Structure formats: structure tokens, C-alpha cells
């Protein structure tokens, strides 16, 4: 496959490492960020994820994957986790975990859904709900490095209260003339909301996104139907499928 | 790590006990069929679809949709295991086994020890031939008796259910024999070269 760059080749085994919770940030009513110190962590690229493993008192273990929200420049690693109803792991992470708690983690994983400041072309990020998390690592990385790569974040949430990282994104966009942040609220809008409402559709993508001639690098992340729809529309609008990278959060992400 | 730290208050929510011999380590059972792929879903029409078997630069066989549908059909009922930790039990697939493809091109035995599967969208994955013969692998065109949806790899996907499911490449169009093993798409991006779920070979070095 010639058109795809390899971000990570064959390497050493990914060992399970000890993660200690240093801080917990409440992002929304259903979403928290876990700020972790990880023994022997060797760094990551924006967009990558980790596996975590919890062990119950009876020895039962469960593994799940979570996207990294922090940029490689940060000393601590942040994971942002959404409480999935009926989930096994996320309710514990969001509801029961405290600073000082420990669990196992290994990574970073995934070398394809990755963007760094060395990547050429405008950056087009399209998120649905908690799909913002790996894209936020890219935006934070971009802000830390103070690069002028033109960037767009198109972010679909159910309501204003569900917008993760809302204040940070506002500040980021205010300070950076090369970054556009467009929020759309699908279910409920506050009184006086002048922003977008409803789902991301073809007209919005055509208007907001960098045109295909500029060969933007697009990253689409969110629930499966959201990603299927947006990525199909981008291709219909003339974007080369190889420039559209996707990450889908399945219904059983728990 | 020597000893896993205990998460107090964390407990299993599994409602029914899945027999140990059905669920590889680190997996959990889902009733859904989650979708994972690196890019947009290719919208291939069967009218323009064809499938090829290849060795080096030479074509061993090629079929259009109607020709492929006329090959002997086999049904496999199997559990599938995704590297992202979900497993789905008792899935049913119909298609043409690798053995029957070899017969269709009059190959008494495989031309080389490895194959690379090439797919719409540029995806590739490598599989040892030893894992495809003897009824272990097929090109599937039906899932639970119906045409496979594009998001799940239709019109046709490779099925090698005893390996992690990324090896069962969606939108497969070509199997190419290779004398030497080469890494495919995810195998070049940190995932395990072989991917045995029972040995939990998720990532390189596992």
C-alpha cells in the first residue's frame, strides 16, 4: 500500500505498565478525563490509543481501549472516558476511580489514525460526541508547537452541556486565527444559540471543509453511523478516500 | 508486570458465563457486530466486481461475480474475535473455500507458503497458506444467509476465523501468493504478524 505512510513499524513488545491516577477532570456529566502517571512510558503520537486492564478482587480481568487526549508534549497522559450505560469498565473508570488508584495500561497502539505537525496539508477534524478525544490530542499538539497549519474542527454534540473540552476549544480558537471550530448541536440548543443545529450533512461539509484541491488530511471519529455517513459524504465531495482516516466507536465500547 | 493491582469495587458484569474454551483471553462477548476500518467504506457494485488469484505477476484465475457465485459454496459456523476485544459467537458465513479456489484453477497444491490479500481501499493483510487450507479459510459473500453489507466487507471478505478478525480482510479482490512472508497494513502498524487470539497475539512482540 504505497499511499499510506507507516508511523510505527515492527518493534518491541508492548509491556503492561503501572498507571497511577494523578487527577480526575470532570468534562461533562457523563465524561471524565483521567490524568495518569505511567511508569516507563516512552511517549505517543497524537491520535493513538491505549489498552487498559482492570483486575477485580476475585481475579477477574477486563481489557478495553481508550484514546489518548493529551499531546505528546505533556508529561502526564490523559485519557478521556465516557460512561457507557451497561458498560463494564467505563462506569468504574468514570464513577469509582480516585486519585492515587492504580491499574495496568499498555500502548501506545495504532499508527494510522495519527497526525503530527510534520504532516502536510490542512487538517480537517470531524468529531461526533466522545469521538473528539483523539482529535483533541492532535489539536493540543498543534497548539503546543504553535504551527500555522490551517485546521478545522467540526464537532457534533447532542447539546451544549455535552460538548467535551468546550472552554479549552473556545480559547484555542480565539487565540489562533488558523483554527476554525464549528460546533453543531443535534438534540437541544440553549436559548439564543446562534451556532449550527442538526446533524453534519453534505452542505455543511462542502461549505466548512477545505476543498479537495488543497488535499486536506481528514480524521473522522465518532459512533459508527456518524463515521460511515461523514466519510461517505467526504468521498462524494471529491476527497481521495486515502486522505480520509476513520476511527469508529462501536456500540459495545463499554 | 509482576502482579496486577486490584481495582476495589470493580467486578464482572457478565450476565451469562461463556465457556472458557469459547472466549480467548482478554475478550468479551458482544451481541452487536461492531464495525472497524481505517477509512471510508468502499461502495463496490457486484456488476463491476471481480476476484483474482495471483502468483507473482501471473494470473492463476479470475472470476466475475456470476462466475464466483457458480463456484462450490460452503457454509461455516464460527466464533469471531476482534483485536479490539469483542468476540461474537456462532456467526454463519457462506462462500467459496480457499481449497475450492485452488481446485477451480487446477492447483493440486498451493504455489507458495504465504498469501497477501489485496482489497478495495488499498487495505492488505498477510496470512500463511497453512491457515487457509483444509477448510480453514474462505472468501465469504453471505453473512447469516444474506449478502454482506458494505460496512461489514461486502460484496466479499476473506474469512480466517481462527485468527484475529483484521485478518478476515473486508472488500477483498485479490489473493497473491508470496514465497516470503510480507507484512500487510495493520501488521506494518504495530499489530502482530500472525494474530492468534488464543495466544493473545494482539500487537507486535506479543
Q: What is the pLDDT of residue A254?
A: 40
**pLDDT tens across A161-184, in order?**
999 999 999 999 999 999 999 999
Q: Which domains does chain A carry?
A: 17-109 (2.40.30.10), 123-249 (3.40.50.80)
Q: Which of A9, A57, A245 sits opposite B6 (nearest CB)?
A: A57
pLDDT digits (tens, 9 = 90+) for B7-42: 999 999 876 678 889 999 999 998 888 888 899 999
pLDDT of residue A91: 95
Report the percent of chain A where pLDDT is more than 70: 94
* B75 within 8 A of B96, measured Cβ to Cβ: no
pLDDT at A166: 98
DSSP-H helix ranges across chain A? 90-95, 132-145, 166-175, 202-208, 224-236
Classify strands B138-143 and B157-159 as parallel, antiparallel or unpaired: antiparallel
Q: How confident is the model at residue A5 (pLDDT cuts 50, 70, 90)?
A: very low
Here the cell at position A105 is 495500561
pLDDT digits (tens, 9 = 90+) for A35-46: 999 999 999 999
Cell of A149: 497549519
* Cα of B89 to nearest chain A Cα, Å: 15
Residue-wise pLDDT for B144-173, tens only, equals 999 999 999 999 999 999 999 999 999 999
Q: Which helix (H) or strand (E) holds B65?
A: helix B65-69
Rounded to the nearest 5 degrees, what angle is found at the Cα of A172, between the Cα atoms of A168 and A178? 155
Q: Where are the domains of chain B?
A: 28-33+49-193
Contact between chains at A248 and B14 (C-beta distance less than 8 A): no
Paired strand residues for B175: B53, B117
Q: Taking residues B120-126, what's their average pLDDT? A: 95
User: Of B37, B189, B205, which is closest to A13 when you measure between CB atoms?
Assistant: B205
Output B35 or B125, whichever has higher pLDDT: B125
Interface of A with B in 199-228 (CB under 8 A): 224, 228
Residue B131 has pLDDT above 60, yes or no: yes
The predicted structure's pLDDT at residue A2: 33
Rg (CA), chain A: 18
* pLDDT at site A249: 76
- Cβ–Cβ of A244/B12 closer than 8 Å? no
The pLDDT, as a whole number, for residue A7 is 42
- For residues A186 and A183, give the distance between their C-alpha atoms in angstroms, rounded to a whole number: 10
B28-33+49-193 is classed CATH 3.30.470.20: no
CA neighbours closer than 13 Å in the CB half-sphere of residue B72 = 11
- pLDDT per position as a tens digit, A11-70: 578 999 999 999 999 999 999 999 999 999 999 999 999 999 999 999 999 999 999 999
Q: Answer yes or no: do B86 and A252 touch at CB < 8 A.
A: yes
Q: What is the pLDDT of residue A251?
A: 45
Amino acid at each position: 500500500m504505497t499511499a499510506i505512510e507507516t508511523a510505527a513499524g515492527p518493534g518491541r513488545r508492548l509491556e503492561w505498565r503501572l498507571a497511577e491516577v494523578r487527577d480526575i477532570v470532570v468534562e461533562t456529566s457523563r465524561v471524565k478525563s483521567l490524568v495518569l502517571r505511567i511508569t516507563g512510558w516512552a511517549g505517543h503520537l497524537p491520535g493513538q490509543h491505549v489498552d487498559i486492564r482492570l483486575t477485580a478482587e476475585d481475579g477477574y480481568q477486563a481489557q478495553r481501549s481508550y484514546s489518548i487526549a493529551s499531546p505528546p508534549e505533556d508529561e502526564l497522559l490523559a485519557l478521556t472516558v465516557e460512561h457507557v450505560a451497561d458498560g463494564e469498565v467505563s462506569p468504574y473508570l468514570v464513577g469509582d476511580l480516585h486519585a492515587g488508584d492504580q491499574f495496568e495500561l499498555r500502548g501506545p497502539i495504532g499508527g494510522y489514525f495519527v497526525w503530527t505537525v510534520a504532516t502536510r496539508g490542512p487538517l480537517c477534524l470531524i468529531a461526533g460526541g466522545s469521538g473528539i478525544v483523539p482529535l483533541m490530542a492532535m489539536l493540543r499538539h498543534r497548539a503546543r508547537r504553535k504551527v500555522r497549519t490551517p485546521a478545522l474542527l467540526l464537532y457534533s454534540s447532542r447539546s451544549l452541556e455535552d460538548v467535551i473540552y468546550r472552554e479549552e476549544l473556545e480559547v484555542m480558537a480565539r487565540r489562533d486565527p488558523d483554527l476554525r471550530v464549528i460546533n453543531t448541536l443535534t438534540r437541544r440548543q440553549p436559548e439564543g444559540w446562534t451556532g449550527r443545529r442538526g446533524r453534519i450533512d453534505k452542505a455543511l461539509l462542502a461549505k466548512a471543509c477545505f476543498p479537495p484541491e488543497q488535499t486536506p488530511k481528514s480524521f473522522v471519529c465518532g459512533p459508527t453511523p456518524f463515521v460511515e455517513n461523514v466519510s461517505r459524504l467526504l468521498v462524494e465531495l471529491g476527497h481521495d478516500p486515502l486522505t480520509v482516516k476513520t476511527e469508529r466507536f462501536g456500540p459495545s465500547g463499554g | 508486570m509482576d502482579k496486577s493491582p486490584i481495582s476495589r469495587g470493580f467486578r464482572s458484569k457478565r450476565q451469562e458465563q461463556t465457556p472458557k474454551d469459547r472466549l480467548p483471553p482478554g475478550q468479551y462477548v458482544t451481541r452487536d457486530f461492531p464495525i472497524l476500518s481505517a477509512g471510508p467504506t468502499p461502495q463496490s457494485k457486484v456488476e463491476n466486481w471481480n476476484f483474482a488469484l495471483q502468483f507473482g505477476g501471473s494470473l492463476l484465475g479470475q472470476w466475475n461475480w456470476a462466475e464466483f457465485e457458480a463456484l462450490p459454496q460452503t457454509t461455516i459456523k464460527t466464533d469471531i474475535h476482534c483485536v479490539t476485544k469483542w468476540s461474537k459467537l456462532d456467526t454463519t458465513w457462506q462462500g467459496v473455500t480457499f481449497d475450492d479456489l485452488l481446485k477451480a484453477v487446477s492447483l493440486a497444491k498451493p504455489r507458495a507458503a504465504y498469501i497477501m490479500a489485496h482489497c478495495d481501499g488499498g487495505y492488505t493483510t498477510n496470512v500463511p497458506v497453512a491457515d487457509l487450507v483444509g477448510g480453514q479459510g474462505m472468501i465469504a459473500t453471505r453473512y447469516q444467509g444474506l449478502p454482506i453489507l458494505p460496512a461489514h466487507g461486502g460484496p466479499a471478505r476473506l474469512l480466517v476465523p481462527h485468527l484475529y478478525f483484521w485478518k478476515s480482510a473486508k472488500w477483498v479482490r485479490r489473493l497473491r501468493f508470496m514465497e516470503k512472508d510480507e507484512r500487510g497494513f495493520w501488521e506494518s502498524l504495530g499489530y502482530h504478524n500472525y494474530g492468534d487470539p488464543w495466544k493473545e497475539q494482539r500487537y507486535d512482540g506479543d
